[in-house]
Each structure stands twice: as C-alpha cells, then as structure tokens.
Amino acid sequence: MSKAGFVIALLLMIAAGFGVYQWQQTLGHNQTNKATMPAQVDLGLATSFIFDTPRALAPFELSDQYGNRFTNQDLQNKWSLFFIGFTSCPDVCPTTLNKLAAAYPDLQAISDQIQIVFVSADPQRDTQTKRLDYINFFNRDFKAITTEHSGLFPFSRDLGFAYAMVGDGDNYQVDHSASYVLVSPQGEKIAVFKAKPKPGETPQILNEELIADFNKIVSHFS
C-alpha cells in the first residue's frame, strides 16, 4: 500500500471509530433521559393540557381593583385561573367573564380555594375605579389586576399571554390572548385552557369542558 493510501485508510478508520463513539454517547444520553423523565399522565383532558414541568412565576407586583398589592403571595394555597383582556373590549372579554361567572359555582364546588383573575392589558384606561365597576358587574369575588407596561409585559409573558395595542388615539384596541392559564396553590403555572377552533364557528372554551378538566387536574394534583 502506498503512503498516501495508508494515510487515507487510517483517517477512515479514525472517522469510523469516532462515529461509533458518538452513536454510543447519544444512545446512552437518550437512555438516561428516558430513565429520568417523568411518565406523561393522560387525564383525558378536553380543552386543556398540563405543562410538563410546573414552574413558579417570577416575582411580580400588580394592583387589584381595590388598590391592594397583588403579588406571588396571593397565589399561595389557591387555584388561580387567569385570563387577559381590557375593559373596553367589545366582545371577547365580556363574553369570557359571563361564562366564567356562570361556571364559578361549579368550579368552587370542586375547590373552594379557586380565584378568577382578570389581567387588564390596558393600564392607561383601566383605572382602579373602572376595573372595580367592570369586574363587579360580573362577579364581586373576581380579581381585576394591572400595572404599568414595564411590569405588566413580563408578567403576562411569564403566564404565556401576549397582547399588543392596535390603532392610534384614544380609541385604540388591544389584541390579546383568549386562553386561560391555571396556577397551582404552590404558585406554579400548571395548565392552559385553549379554545378548539371549529369550522364556521368562533373558537370558545366551553364551560362544561372547563369544569370537567379543572376537576381532573385538581384531583390529580391533590
């Protein structure tokens, strides 16, 4: 064999050996991950899913409709169901609050430690007084919280919500998420409820599915 041929053969052998090593390392890594990953539990949820790893929310401070501070401490020992919107919303928000007000007694029957929290994405117009009047129209037990955008944006993003101002002047609208997010009594984001789109219909979270899923989630984590 020529010297050049020997060098080429040697390089091919090294490359092959390295390839086998990489394959063994990858295989071992995957097997380790499979051994350490928790098994997924199928709860038969209709309109929601549970996050693989519950995660505590970053420290936050907002104000409720009474001017009281609303912080991570207010999540302890309660199931907190969040959704985001604004009081000038023409359709989605009042419809959502009506539905949640109707579902509230059934949710309370599952856990009397549940709180419904409306996050206003319009702190400029949604003053404390406006939020108080607005939320009381639907249910006086509900919370209506907000803060300046500098704190509101990271808090909303941490929950998994998005919002954006649309239009100019005082009559701007706010595009926002329409899902619900459930936070556990340990203050951890644990599940999200999303509407199922249907052809020719406005996507919506059905109360019967919300209640059934909430019951399964609470029972599973209790």
89 annotated as belonging to a binding site for a ligand? yes
Mean pLDDT for the chain overall: 84
* Region 5-16 average pLDDT: 39
* pLDDT tens digits, 30-66: 443 433 333 346 789 999 999 989 999 999 999 999 9
Q: Which range is least confidently modeled, 121-130, 151-160, 193-202?
A: 193-202
| Residue 18 or 91, more confident | 91
Which two three-digit tokens encode residue 82? Answer: 């969040």
What global pTM score does this model have?
Answer: 0.80
* The pLDDT of residue 10 is above 60: no
Q: Which range is least confidently modeled, 160-164, 199-203, 210-214?
A: 199-203
Q: What is the pLDDT of residue 41?
A: 62
Q: Could you give the percent of the chain with pLDDT greater than 70?
A: 80
149 annotated as belonging to a binding site for a ligand? no
Q: What is the pLDDT of residue 218?
A: 96
Rounded CA-CA distance 94/126 in Å is: 15
* Region 212-217 average pLDDT: 97
Q: Which range is least confidently modeled, 13-27, 51-65, 117-131, 148-162?
A: 13-27
Q: What is the pLDDT of residue 203?
A: 73
Residues with Cβ within 8 Å of residue 188, at least 6 apart in sequence: 54, 55, 56, 57
Owner of token pair 């390089």: 11
* pLDDT tens digits, 133-157: 999 999 999 999 999 999 999 999 9
93 annotated as belonging to a binding site for a ligand? yes
Residues with Cβ within 8 Å of residue 186, at least 6 apart in sequence: 54, 56, 76
* Region 7-25 average pLDDT: 40
Residue 121's nearest CA partner among 173, 72, 187 is 173
The CB density around residue 189, as the number of other CB atoms within 10 Å, is 21
